[in-house]
Structures are given as C-alpha cells and as structure tokens.
Structure 1
Amino acid sequence: MDDSTAKNEMLITLTSDIVAAHVSNNSVAVSDLPLLIQNVHAALAGLDSPAPAPEVRQEPAVSVRASIKPDYIVCLEDGKKLKMLKRHLMTHYQMTPEDYRAKWNLPADYPMVAPNYAEQRRSLAKKIGLGTSRSRKKK
C-alpha cells in the first residue's frame, strides 16, 4: 500500500469516527449528513497543507516626516530622492499616487512633488500667464 492510499484511508477513518461521534450526541437531519461528512473530510485534509505565511509588513525606507525635504521627496518604497514621485511609482512599482498613499497610510494632501520644485513650476506658470483669463478685444 502506497503513502497516498494510506493517507486517504486514514482520512476516511477519522472522518467517519468524528461524524459518528457527532451524530450520536447531536440530532442531525439525514439531509445534512452528506454536507457534514464533506466538511469534516475537507477540514481534516486541510490540516496536511502548510499554514499560509504571515503577511510581512514592509517598513518605510525613511520616516514619513523625514520623507519631505525642500529640494526632494524620499520614496518610502526604496529610499530614492526624487523631485517628482508619481512617475517613479508607476514605472517601478505600478502604483498610483492613491495606492501609494493608501499603502503607507499617508494623508490625501501628501505631496508627490518636492516643495521647491512645485514653487519653481508655479512661478514659471505665473510668469507666462497661465491661470489668468484673457480679455477679448471689442470691435
């Protein structure tokens, strides 16, 4: 007799013993017996499989507070110093800014761009007139 046959016979024997003990001490409808047998057998068969590995929580490369500097933002995934985080997240981790914020439990207003770089872009936009309404010439 090979190992798998012996294991199956042992599972059947244990299942029948457990179901018989349960039925002798509890009232079970005849229509519920097949389901009871199936559940007990599945539970016993599942004991042989290894337990799932506990989920390892990733620690950030730096603290959230230390990740925002005037000239760069530090990626919590890998510790890289970047001016713009959004593209880095998508190309290396296939994460959107929302996914990133959710993973690291960051506030909705957590920046994806370094503060000085954002200010530089803002002043450039103002200089070329973006965000202002044009006045039309009247005929």
Structure 2
Amino acid sequence: MSKTLVQMTAEIIQSQITSKQMSTEEIKAALNETFQALKSLQDAEAGGMLETETEATATVMDPKKSIQKNKIICLECGQEFKMLSPKHLKSHGLTSREYRKKHGLSARQPLCAKALSERRSQSGKERGLPDNLRKAIVARTKKKATSE
C-alpha cells in the first residue's frame, strides 16, 4: 500500500531532526515546505501521465519558432535536434511531409536548424549547384519543346 503525502512528509522531517537540531518553528516550516514540494511533484506527475495517456498533441510552441539558429524543436515530443530525421519522425508515426502539414509548415521548409541549412546552401553554391541546376532546366525545356 502506498504512503500518503503526510506520512512521507513526516518520515522526511523525522530523518532531518535526527541529523540536526531544529526548533519547533523550523520543524513546522520544514513540514509545510516538504509537504508542498511533494504535493507539487505529485500534481506534476499526474499531469504528465494524463498527457501521455491521451494522444492529444497540443502544439505548445509556434511552429515557425521551433526552427531556431542552432536547433530545431520537435513539436511532437519537445526534444531538440540539429535536424529532424526520418527515423525520429517515424517514431511519431509521421513522414516529413505529414509533419509539415500537421504543423502548418511550408512543403519546402527544411526540417533542420537554420545554421545547418545555411551551411548546406553555401556549400552547394560553392560547388556550382545553382548554375548547374539552371543549365539542366534549360536543357530539359529545350528537349521538351523539340519533342512536342
């Protein structure tokens, strides 16, 4: 059978009294503080259990603010990452497309920290990707025009 908060509080304070001298006022204050701390822990624990039991995932944070300079915060579980990997999203039963749609992010929004996205963009520019992409698009449109 589990102990009540009052019983747990009494045991904690009894342990404190045996290790140091306390006045009556100190004992009363310690009892009150310990009881309040245990009560708040119990309430937090009960609240946490209710959240995990219900599958309602209320967005606590603005989705646009979840993508920060050096981290991205998963809006499903609250964990911080450099990038939301497909493996992590799969643990929530989502694909990256479903995650973006669920939280109102654009389809082209990278699911990674802004600094990482900027580094990738800069790296691509240094390798000449924008120019090569432009050439490929022009070649494809010419090929499509001649086949019609």
TM-score range, shorter chain: 0.3 to 0.5
Bigger-Rg structure (1/2): 1
So what's the TM-score if we normalise by structure 1?
Answer: 0.46
TM (norm. structure 2) is 0.43
